[in-house]
Structure 1
Amino acid sequence: MDIKRAGIYSNPEKDSDFTGAIELARLLRARGAAVSFDADGMPPGETDVMDPAQIDILFVLGGDGTLLKAAERSCPFGVPMLGINLGHLGFLTEVKKDSIKEAVETVCAGSYYIEERLMLHFAICKDGEPRLEGDALNDVVVLKKATARMINVELAVNGALADKAACDGMLVATPTGSTSYSLSAGGPIVSPHVACMIATPICAHSLHSRSIVVSPDDEVVMKPYAPGGAVLAADGIVKSEFQDGEEVHVSKSKYVARFIRFHKDYFYPLLRSKFLSWDRFV
């Protein structure tokens, strides 16, 4: 790849003193690239604010959570992302901080491929009219408010009632999100190469409520009945509180997340490493 304009999205809480971002910028500029930074992760002395519509590649320094935030900004523009892991073992990041130089050289040499990941579109609606819309890479979650009692959530697929659960919440995940909150809720691990959506109740007071895997071409609707209140979260960020009579419609997004990958068969060895780490606090 001939990198002319590179963006850097750095998590200041993980990239101490912006050492990773500064080193990355130095390497890219040495190759003639113009470098800009996300406004919330600007190293001292830098002034060029990143415009996702004007970059060829986005380097993301942090963990999976940082990549999720970066994806929300960059995916509408089709920008490929390279994740540089500064935290614990991540499913989305590709390289470690001590391999930044080698990663830049590999990208510039063209020795990589682009992996596209399915994303979700959500719309909070009442009587068919959307109030709030957005996109998510991992999951869309209906949750009870922090101090509320259990809620009831109806799940419909293409207009047909599929489940109704008394629970703490319900989520719809992508295969990417199947190793995140969905897994903690008892959902299946799904290969990122499988196109589907996974609907899973959270802490259901039931012996029969289980995950339902549906086509990415389906529309899933979650409607909460929550006297104590319910909220909608996307990729771990609370987006809104539900108002009376509202529901959330979830479908395949028109956008995809584009990740730069160096190795084809990375997922299952990474999954195995994650399994081995789960007996420790990560």
Structure 2
Amino acid sequence: MSVKQRRFSVVDNAVAIVWGADYLSPMIAAAFGGFEPCASSQSADLAYRIVSEAGDGSFSLLRSGSVIDRGLDASQVLFALQQDIVVAVQRLRPDLVFVHSAVVQRGGRAFLLAAPSGSGKSTLCWALLHHGFRLMSDELAPLDPKTLRISPFLLAVTLKAPPPDCYPLPGSSIKTHRSHYIPVDVLPTVPANESAPIGAILFVDYASSHTAPALRKLAAAECAFRLYPNVLNALAHQSMGLDDVIQITNSVPCWYLASAALEATAKEVAGLFSAL
């Protein structure tokens, strides 16, 4: 069993992953293939090792030699790796505001789809890529509060369930018992690997009782109220992040979306963002 390695950059921090099991390779390539590679000579800010445990086919995940978790199957180790990178990068870049949000780009502007987990933001993000938008992230928006620019965070698009037939999964998607991973190299549009100024914020709320999507423009105060719980590292910023949130929501338009059928919702949102 040969040792494999992948090195890439996440918001200007070098990440290295080392593993041995061959069947992990396509999963790691699918999940992290969207990030820009970094030179093998560059020292890693985050150094991970996935170690096969004897006998039972499970794995341990280590960062800088310290065990993060053990007894993990392949899908669990991939999930744990993603989550640890998300948290560790926030510690390495406290100058940025990290928003729990999908981000798509069009016309040089970045549009945030903010929502709690399970609200359908990743599925809506996947649908919008079929309407001319480019992926920046389906999970995390690293935002510079000084410039109001968002950096890409190009993990694979990760869906908990298959999308409707109108936006089918590519054949090369990776399925685990947790999620479906859509590699960035098979997306309908080329992903955006450069930063972009924020253009608008959309708060997504899946409403199963709705037969059609409904949009409502938000005042800056309500937008700030809704955005603040989605800021993951608010305590790293002055005034517990409130000053940054107020600045952001006073600078860009915001809407609340009660989503419905995916195709109708995607067309409604695409029309809104395109008009901006």
TM over 0.5: no
Structure number with the higher strand fraction is 1
- TM band (smaller chain): under 0.3
The TM-score normalised by the length of structure 1 is 0.26
Structure 2 length normalisation: TM-score?
0.26
